[in-house]
Amino acid sequence: MADVGAKKDYLVTEKLVKRFDESLAVDEVDLSISQGEIFALLGSSGCGKSTLLRMLAGFETPTSGRILLGGQDVAKLAPYERPFNMMFQSYALFPHLDIWENIAFGLKREGLPRNDIKQRVGEMLDLVQLTPYARRKPHQLSGGQQQRVALARSLAKKPKVLLLDEPLGALDKKLREQTQFELVNIIEKVGVTCVMVTHDQEEAMTMAGRIAVMSKGRVLQVGSPEEVYEHPANRFVADFIGNVNLFDGKLSIDEPDRCAVTTAIGEIHVGHGVSGALHMPVSIAVRPEKIEISKERPNLAHNLFAGKVKEIAYFGSYNSFIVIASDGTRVKITEANTSRHDLSNITWEDDVYFWWSDVAGIVLRD
Ligand SMILES: Nc1ncnc2c1ncn2[C@@H]1O[C@H](COP(=O)(O)OP(=O)(O)OP(=O)(O)O)[C@@H](O)[C@H]1O
Ligand SMILES: [Mg+2]
Protein backbone atom coordinates (compact mmCIF):
# COMPACT_ATOMS: atom_id res chain seq x y z
CA MET A 1 0.00 0.00 0.00
CA ALA A 2 1.34 3.43 -0.90
CA ASP A 3 2.08 4.74 2.59
CA VAL A 4 2.01 8.34 3.70
CA GLY A 5 5.19 10.04 2.58
CA ALA A 6 5.53 7.74 -0.41
CA LYS A 7 7.26 9.61 -3.18
CA LYS A 8 5.21 10.63 -6.16
CA ASP A 9 7.74 10.70 -8.99
CA TYR A 10 9.74 7.78 -7.65
CA LEU A 11 10.58 5.89 -10.82
CA VAL A 12 10.76 8.17 -13.83
CA THR A 13 11.67 7.64 -17.47
CA GLU A 14 12.46 10.63 -19.65
CA LYS A 15 12.23 10.29 -23.41
CA LEU A 16 13.46 6.74 -23.18
CA VAL A 17 14.36 5.25 -26.56
CA LYS A 18 15.58 1.83 -27.65
CA ARG A 19 16.50 1.24 -31.25
CA PHE A 20 17.47 -2.19 -32.58
CA ASP A 21 19.13 -1.68 -35.98
CA GLU A 22 16.28 -0.26 -38.04
CA SER A 23 13.42 -0.84 -35.63
CA LEU A 24 12.35 1.50 -32.86
CA ALA A 25 11.30 -0.85 -30.04
CA VAL A 26 10.70 1.91 -27.47
CA ASP A 27 9.95 5.41 -28.70
CA GLU A 28 10.36 8.40 -26.36
CA VAL A 29 8.59 6.98 -23.36
CA ASP A 30 7.92 9.32 -20.43
CA LEU A 31 6.61 7.62 -17.33
CA SER A 32 6.28 8.72 -13.75
CA ILE A 33 5.55 6.00 -11.23
CA SER A 34 4.85 6.57 -7.54
CA GLN A 35 6.45 4.68 -4.71
CA GLY A 36 4.39 1.62 -3.76
CA GLU A 37 2.34 1.75 -6.93
CA ILE A 38 1.47 -1.27 -9.07
CA PHE A 39 1.90 -0.02 -12.60
CA ALA A 40 1.14 -2.08 -15.71
CA LEU A 41 2.57 -1.82 -19.21
CA LEU A 42 -0.17 -3.14 -21.47
CA GLY A 43 0.00 -3.74 -25.21
CA SER A 44 -0.04 -6.36 -27.91
CA SER A 45 2.88 -8.57 -28.83
CA GLY A 46 5.97 -6.72 -30.06
CA CYS A 47 4.92 -3.26 -28.83
CA GLY A 48 8.06 -2.91 -26.70
CA LYS A 49 6.87 -3.85 -23.20
CA SER A 50 9.67 -6.27 -22.37
CA THR A 51 12.30 -4.00 -23.89
CA LEU A 52 11.11 -1.15 -21.68
CA LEU A 53 11.17 -3.38 -18.61
CA ARG A 54 14.62 -4.72 -19.51
CA MET A 55 15.96 -1.17 -19.74
CA LEU A 56 14.63 -0.48 -16.24
CA ALA A 57 16.33 -3.63 -15.01
CA GLY A 58 19.58 -2.73 -16.77
CA PHE A 59 19.63 -5.74 -19.11
CA GLU A 60 19.26 -3.45 -22.11
CA THR A 61 21.10 -0.13 -22.62
CA PRO A 62 18.85 2.75 -23.72
CA THR A 63 19.69 4.31 -27.07
CA SER A 64 18.81 7.63 -25.44
CA GLY A 65 16.80 9.07 -22.57
CA ARG A 66 17.07 8.72 -18.80
CA ILE A 67 15.86 6.47 -16.01
CA LEU A 68 15.64 8.03 -12.55
CA LEU A 69 14.97 6.30 -9.26
CA GLY A 70 14.32 8.64 -6.36
CA GLY A 71 15.85 11.41 -8.44
CA GLN A 72 19.08 9.47 -9.14
CA ASP A 73 20.08 8.48 -12.67
CA VAL A 74 20.50 4.71 -12.71
CA ALA A 75 22.01 4.55 -16.21
CA LYS A 76 25.52 3.86 -15.03
CA LEU A 77 24.51 1.09 -12.64
CA ALA A 78 24.89 -2.55 -13.68
CA PRO A 79 21.78 -4.73 -13.24
CA TYR A 80 23.03 -6.24 -9.97
CA GLU A 81 23.79 -2.78 -8.58
CA ARG A 82 20.24 -1.55 -9.16
CA PRO A 83 17.71 -1.98 -6.35
CA PHE A 84 15.46 -3.66 -8.91
CA ASN A 85 14.52 -7.28 -9.22
CA MET A 86 13.02 -8.77 -12.32
CA MET A 87 10.84 -11.85 -12.46
CA PHE A 88 10.84 -13.26 -15.96
CA GLN A 89 7.94 -14.76 -17.80
CA SER A 90 9.44 -18.25 -17.58
CA TYR A 91 10.29 -17.92 -13.91
CA ALA A 92 12.10 -21.27 -13.98
CA LEU A 93 12.59 -22.43 -10.42
CA PHE A 94 15.58 -24.70 -9.87
CA PRO A 95 14.00 -28.15 -10.15
CA HIS A 96 16.60 -29.97 -8.05
CA LEU A 97 16.39 -27.50 -5.16
CA ASP A 98 13.54 -27.47 -2.66
CA ILE A 99 11.40 -24.38 -2.11
CA TRP A 100 13.47 -23.15 0.82
CA GLU A 101 16.71 -23.41 -1.20
CA ASN A 102 15.10 -21.78 -4.22
CA ILE A 103 14.19 -18.71 -2.17
CA ALA A 104 17.58 -18.68 -0.42
CA PHE A 105 19.55 -18.97 -3.66
CA GLY A 106 20.12 -15.28 -4.40
CA LEU A 107 20.77 -14.45 -0.74
CA LYS A 108 23.47 -17.13 -0.49
CA ARG A 109 25.07 -15.81 -3.64
CA GLU A 110 25.14 -12.38 -2.08
CA GLY A 111 26.98 -13.87 0.87
CA LEU A 112 24.40 -12.87 3.47
CA PRO A 113 25.13 -14.38 6.95
CA ARG A 114 23.42 -17.72 7.53
CA ASN A 115 21.09 -16.54 10.26
CA ASP A 116 19.93 -13.61 8.18
CA ILE A 117 19.19 -15.93 5.28
CA LYS A 118 17.20 -18.22 7.55
CA GLN A 119 15.16 -15.36 8.88
CA ARG A 120 14.53 -13.81 5.45
CA VAL A 121 13.50 -17.09 3.82
CA GLY A 122 11.16 -17.74 6.75
CA GLU A 123 9.55 -14.34 6.26
CA MET A 124 9.16 -14.89 2.54
CA LEU A 125 7.59 -18.34 3.02
CA ASP A 126 5.13 -16.79 5.47
CA LEU A 127 4.36 -13.97 3.09
CA VAL A 128 3.41 -16.28 0.25
CA GLN A 129 1.83 -18.79 2.67
CA LEU A 130 3.99 -21.71 1.69
CA THR A 131 5.76 -22.43 4.98
CA PRO A 132 4.42 -26.02 5.13
CA TYR A 133 5.86 -26.65 1.66
CA ALA A 134 9.41 -25.46 2.37
CA ARG A 135 10.96 -28.87 1.81
CA ARG A 136 9.04 -29.78 -1.32
CA LYS A 137 10.53 -29.66 -4.79
CA PRO A 138 8.94 -27.32 -7.36
CA HIS A 139 7.28 -30.17 -9.28
CA GLN A 140 5.39 -31.11 -6.11
CA LEU A 141 3.57 -27.76 -6.14
CA SER A 142 0.70 -26.48 -8.27
CA GLY A 143 1.37 -23.87 -10.96
CA GLY A 144 -0.01 -21.08 -8.78
CA GLN A 145 2.12 -22.17 -5.81
CA GLN A 146 5.23 -22.29 -8.00
CA GLN A 147 4.42 -18.82 -9.16
CA ARG A 148 4.31 -17.65 -5.52
CA VAL A 149 7.71 -19.24 -4.89
CA ALA A 150 9.11 -17.30 -7.83
CA LEU A 151 7.63 -14.13 -6.35
CA ALA A 152 9.11 -14.93 -2.92
CA ARG A 153 12.48 -15.47 -4.56
CA SER A 154 12.23 -12.09 -6.33
CA LEU A 155 11.25 -10.31 -3.12
CA ALA A 156 13.82 -12.01 -0.88
CA LYS A 157 16.51 -9.44 -1.66
CA LYS A 158 14.10 -6.66 -0.68
CA PRO A 159 14.26 -4.81 -3.98
CA LYS A 160 12.92 -1.26 -4.12
CA VAL A 161 11.34 -1.99 -7.47
CA LEU A 162 9.87 -5.29 -8.57
CA LEU A 163 9.68 -5.85 -12.31
CA LEU A 164 7.30 -8.56 -13.49
CA ASP A 165 7.25 -9.70 -17.12
CA GLU A 166 3.98 -11.53 -17.80
CA PRO A 167 3.97 -12.87 -14.22
CA LEU A 168 1.00 -15.15 -14.77
CA GLY A 169 1.75 -16.15 -18.34
CA ALA A 170 2.42 -19.75 -17.42
CA LEU A 171 -0.93 -20.28 -15.69
CA ASP A 172 -4.25 -21.27 -17.19
CA LYS A 173 -7.13 -18.80 -17.16
CA LYS A 174 -8.89 -19.90 -13.97
CA LEU A 175 -5.69 -20.06 -11.96
CA ARG A 176 -4.55 -16.73 -13.35
CA GLU A 177 -7.64 -15.04 -11.98
CA GLN A 178 -7.14 -16.41 -8.47
CA THR A 179 -3.43 -15.70 -8.51
CA GLN A 180 -3.92 -12.10 -9.65
CA PHE A 181 -5.51 -11.21 -6.32
CA GLU A 182 -2.94 -13.15 -4.28
CA LEU A 183 -0.14 -11.39 -6.09
CA VAL A 184 -1.62 -7.94 -5.50
CA ASN A 185 -2.11 -8.73 -1.81
CA ILE A 186 1.49 -9.81 -1.42
CA ILE A 187 2.91 -6.86 -3.34
CA GLU A 188 0.79 -4.40 -1.35
CA LYS A 189 1.77 -6.03 1.94
CA VAL A 190 5.45 -5.60 1.11
CA GLY A 191 4.83 -2.09 -0.25
CA VAL A 192 7.29 -2.59 -3.08
CA THR A 193 6.93 -0.45 -6.20
CA CYS A 194 5.96 -2.77 -9.02
CA VAL A 195 6.06 -2.45 -12.79
CA MET A 196 4.38 -5.34 -14.54
CA VAL A 197 4.08 -6.25 -18.18
CA THR A 198 1.02 -7.94 -19.61
CA HIS A 199 -0.81 -8.24 -22.91
CA ASP A 200 -3.99 -9.22 -21.05
CA GLN A 201 -6.17 -6.18 -20.43
CA GLU A 202 -8.27 -7.85 -17.75
CA GLU A 203 -5.13 -8.73 -15.86
CA ALA A 204 -3.85 -5.17 -16.07
CA MET A 205 -7.21 -3.81 -14.94
CA THR A 206 -7.49 -6.24 -12.04
CA MET A 207 -3.98 -5.81 -10.71
CA ALA A 208 -2.70 -2.36 -11.49
CA GLY A 209 -3.51 1.02 -9.99
CA ARG A 210 -2.52 2.63 -13.26
CA ILE A 211 -1.96 1.33 -16.74
CA ALA A 212 0.20 2.57 -19.62
CA VAL A 213 -1.33 1.44 -22.91
CA MET A 214 1.42 0.91 -25.47
CA SER A 215 1.47 0.51 -29.23
CA LYS A 216 4.51 0.39 -31.53
CA GLY A 217 6.94 1.48 -28.86
CA ARG A 218 4.88 4.46 -27.75
CA VAL A 219 2.76 5.08 -24.68
CA LEU A 220 -0.67 6.18 -25.91
CA GLN A 221 -2.35 6.75 -22.57
CA VAL A 222 -1.63 6.44 -18.87
CA GLY A 223 -4.49 6.22 -16.42
CA SER A 224 -6.40 4.21 -13.86
CA PRO A 225 -8.35 1.21 -15.21
CA GLU A 226 -11.52 3.28 -15.01
CA GLU A 227 -9.97 6.24 -16.83
CA VAL A 228 -8.66 4.22 -19.76
CA TYR A 229 -11.97 2.34 -20.05
CA GLU A 230 -14.37 5.26 -19.63
CA HIS A 231 -12.22 7.98 -21.20
CA PRO A 232 -9.98 6.41 -23.81
CA ALA A 233 -7.68 8.99 -25.40
CA ASN A 234 -7.98 7.65 -28.93
CA ARG A 235 -9.39 4.92 -31.16
CA PHE A 236 -6.57 2.50 -30.45
CA VAL A 237 -7.07 2.60 -26.67
CA ALA A 238 -10.86 2.45 -26.97
CA ASP A 239 -10.59 -0.62 -29.16
CA PHE A 240 -7.79 -2.32 -27.23
CA ILE A 241 -9.42 -2.01 -23.80
CA GLY A 242 -12.66 -3.95 -23.79
CA ASN A 243 -15.22 -4.02 -26.56
CA VAL A 244 -16.35 -0.93 -28.34
CA ASN A 245 -18.46 0.29 -31.26
CA LEU A 246 -16.70 2.99 -33.24
CA PHE A 247 -18.84 5.23 -35.45
CA ASP A 248 -16.91 7.44 -37.86
CA GLY A 249 -18.35 10.73 -38.96
CA LYS A 250 -18.10 14.49 -39.11
CA LEU A 251 -18.74 16.98 -36.35
CA SER A 252 -22.08 18.70 -37.03
CA ILE A 253 -22.79 20.57 -33.76
CA ASP A 254 -20.21 21.65 -31.21
CA GLU A 255 -21.26 23.48 -28.06
CA PRO A 256 -19.51 23.61 -24.67
CA ASP A 257 -21.63 20.84 -23.15
CA ARG A 258 -22.83 18.87 -26.14
CA CYS A 259 -22.02 17.97 -29.69
CA ALA A 260 -23.38 15.89 -32.54
CA VAL A 261 -21.71 13.88 -35.25
CA THR A 262 -23.14 12.84 -38.59
CA THR A 263 -22.33 9.19 -39.21
CA ALA A 264 -23.50 6.47 -41.59
CA ILE A 265 -25.97 5.17 -39.00
CA GLY A 266 -27.44 8.65 -38.44
CA GLU A 267 -26.77 11.68 -36.27
CA ILE A 268 -25.28 10.80 -32.89
CA HIS A 269 -25.53 13.18 -29.93
CA VAL A 270 -22.92 13.30 -27.21
CA GLY A 271 -23.15 15.05 -23.86
CA HIS A 272 -19.83 16.85 -24.02
CA GLY A 273 -18.25 19.44 -26.29
CA VAL A 274 -15.03 18.90 -28.21
CA SER A 275 -13.97 22.48 -29.12
CA GLY A 276 -13.17 21.24 -32.59
CA ALA A 277 -13.80 22.60 -36.06
CA LEU A 278 -17.22 21.91 -37.59
CA HIS A 279 -17.15 19.09 -40.16
CA MET A 280 -13.85 17.74 -38.84
CA PRO A 281 -13.65 13.94 -38.99
CA VAL A 282 -14.10 12.23 -35.60
CA SER A 283 -15.20 8.86 -34.24
CA ILE A 284 -17.66 8.12 -31.51
CA ALA A 285 -16.96 5.24 -29.17
CA VAL A 286 -19.90 3.50 -27.49
CA ARG A 287 -19.39 0.45 -25.25
CA PRO A 288 -21.75 -2.48 -26.03
CA GLU A 289 -23.09 -2.57 -22.45
CA LYS A 290 -24.18 1.06 -22.70
CA ILE A 291 -26.59 0.34 -25.55
CA GLU A 292 -30.15 -0.78 -24.84
CA ILE A 293 -32.11 -3.04 -27.12
CA SER A 294 -35.83 -3.78 -27.41
CA LYS A 295 -38.52 -4.79 -29.87
CA GLU A 296 -40.65 -1.87 -28.63
CA ARG A 297 -39.83 1.57 -29.88
CA PRO A 298 -39.03 3.88 -26.93
CA ASN A 299 -40.07 7.49 -27.05
CA LEU A 300 -36.71 9.19 -27.55
CA ALA A 301 -35.60 12.21 -29.51
CA HIS A 302 -32.15 10.98 -30.51
CA ASN A 303 -29.54 8.23 -30.45
CA LEU A 304 -32.34 5.83 -31.36
CA PHE A 305 -31.78 3.48 -34.29
CA ALA A 306 -33.48 0.52 -35.90
CA GLY A 307 -31.91 -2.72 -37.07
CA LYS A 308 -32.15 -6.47 -37.41
CA VAL A 309 -30.59 -9.05 -35.08
CA LYS A 310 -27.93 -11.07 -36.91
CA GLU A 311 -26.16 -12.92 -34.12
CA ILE A 312 -26.85 -13.75 -30.49
CA ALA A 313 -24.44 -15.34 -28.05
CA TYR A 314 -25.22 -16.38 -24.48
CA PHE A 315 -22.34 -15.99 -22.05
CA GLY A 316 -24.19 -16.92 -18.89
CA SER A 317 -23.86 -13.61 -17.12
CA TYR A 318 -24.75 -11.62 -20.22
CA ASN A 319 -26.12 -11.89 -23.76
CA SER A 320 -24.37 -10.43 -26.72
CA PHE A 321 -26.15 -9.27 -29.89
CA ILE A 322 -24.87 -8.21 -33.26
CA VAL A 323 -27.45 -5.92 -34.84
CA ILE A 324 -27.25 -4.69 -38.41
CA ALA A 325 -28.58 -1.15 -38.59
CA SER A 326 -30.67 0.08 -41.55
CA ASP A 327 -27.54 1.45 -43.27
CA GLY A 328 -25.63 -1.82 -42.81
CA THR A 329 -23.50 -0.79 -39.79
CA ARG A 330 -22.75 -3.70 -37.42
CA VAL A 331 -23.45 -2.79 -33.82
CA LYS A 332 -22.47 -4.89 -30.83
CA ILE A 333 -24.81 -4.75 -27.85
CA THR A 334 -24.57 -6.63 -24.57
CA GLU A 335 -27.28 -7.08 -21.99
CA ALA A 336 -26.71 -8.31 -18.44
CA ASN A 337 -28.65 -11.39 -17.33
CA THR A 338 -29.69 -10.10 -13.98
CA SER A 339 -32.15 -12.83 -13.13
CA ARG A 340 -32.65 -16.39 -14.26
CA HIS A 341 -36.18 -15.76 -15.47
CA ASP A 342 -35.23 -12.61 -17.24
CA LEU A 343 -34.44 -14.34 -20.52
CA SER A 344 -34.49 -11.99 -23.41
CA ASN A 345 -37.42 -12.33 -25.81
CA ILE A 346 -35.24 -11.16 -28.67
CA THR A 347 -34.19 -13.69 -31.26
CA TRP A 348 -32.46 -13.98 -34.64
CA GLU A 349 -33.81 -11.85 -37.48
CA ASP A 350 -35.99 -9.81 -35.12
CA ASP A 351 -36.49 -6.17 -35.98
CA VAL A 352 -35.29 -4.21 -33.00
CA TYR A 353 -34.63 -0.71 -31.74
CA PHE A 354 -31.45 0.21 -29.95
CA TRP A 355 -30.42 3.40 -28.21
CA TRP A 356 -28.06 4.95 -25.74
CA SER A 357 -27.91 8.06 -23.59
CA ASP A 358 -25.96 11.18 -24.48
CA VAL A 359 -23.36 10.43 -21.84
CA ALA A 360 -22.60 6.95 -23.21
CA GLY A 361 -20.65 8.13 -26.24
CA ILE A 362 -17.16 9.58 -26.33
CA VAL A 363 -15.84 11.64 -29.22
CA LEU A 364 -12.35 10.62 -30.34
CA ARG A 365 -10.26 12.80 -32.61
CA ASP A 366 -7.65 10.20 -33.55
N1 LIG B 1 17.54 -8.10 -29.01
C2 LIG B 1 16.78 -7.63 -30.00
N3 LIG B 1 17.27 -7.40 -31.24
C4 LIG B 1 16.51 -6.90 -32.23
N5 LIG B 1 15.21 -6.61 -32.10
C6 LIG B 1 14.63 -6.83 -30.89
C7 LIG B 1 15.37 -7.36 -29.79
N8 LIG B 1 14.55 -7.47 -28.72
C9 LIG B 1 13.34 -7.04 -29.14
N10 LIG B 1 13.39 -6.65 -30.44
C11 LIG B 1 12.27 -6.09 -31.22
O12 LIG B 1 11.72 -5.00 -30.52
C13 LIG B 1 10.31 -4.99 -30.60
C14 LIG B 1 9.72 -5.00 -29.20
O15 LIG B 1 9.99 -6.26 -28.58
P16 LIG B 1 9.54 -6.61 -27.09
O17 LIG B 1 10.13 -7.91 -26.73
O18 LIG B 1 9.87 -5.46 -26.21
O19 LIG B 1 7.97 -6.73 -27.27
P20 LIG B 1 6.84 -7.13 -26.19
O21 LIG B 1 5.89 -6.00 -26.14
O22 LIG B 1 7.47 -7.56 -24.93
O23 LIG B 1 6.13 -8.35 -26.92
P24 LIG B 1 5.53 -9.74 -26.29
O25 LIG B 1 4.18 -9.40 -25.73
O26 LIG B 1 5.43 -10.60 -27.48
O27 LIG B 1 6.49 -10.23 -25.26
C28 LIG B 1 9.93 -6.18 -31.44
O29 LIG B 1 9.72 -5.74 -32.76
C30 LIG B 1 11.13 -7.09 -31.36
O31 LIG B 1 11.26 -7.87 -32.51
MG1 LIG C 1 7.58 -9.44 -23.91
Give yes or no for residue 4 having a pLDDT over 80.
Answer: no
Q: Nearest residue CA, atom 12 of ligand 1? A: 25
Taken in order of first residue, the domains within the chain and their CATH numbers are: 11-236 (3.40.50.300), 243-364 (2.40.50.100)
Q: Nearest residue CA, atom 25 of ligand 1? A: 45
* Per-residue pLDDT, 340: 56
Ligand 1 atom nearest residue 26's Cα: 14
pLDDT in tens, 311-348: 999 888 889 999 999 999 999 999 988 765 555 688 99
Q: Are strands 292-294 and 38-42 parallel, antiparallel or unpaired?
A: unpaired
Using a 6 Å CB cutoff, which residues line ligand 1? Answer: 20, 23, 25, 43, 45-51, 199
Ligand 1 pocket test: pick from 50, 166, 215 the residue with the most ligand atoms within 8 Å of its Cβ: 50
Look at the pTM and tell me if it is higher than 0.85.
Answer: yes
* Per-residue pLDDT, 91: 66
Give yes or no for residue 147 having a pLDDT over 90.
Answer: no
CA of 50 to the centre of ligand 2 (A): 4
Give yes or no for residue 15 having a pLDDT over 90.
Answer: yes
pLDDT confidence band for 196 (50 / 70 / 90): very high
pLDDT in tens, 160-182: 999 999 988 878 888 888 889 99
CA of 46 to the centre of ligand 2 (A): 7
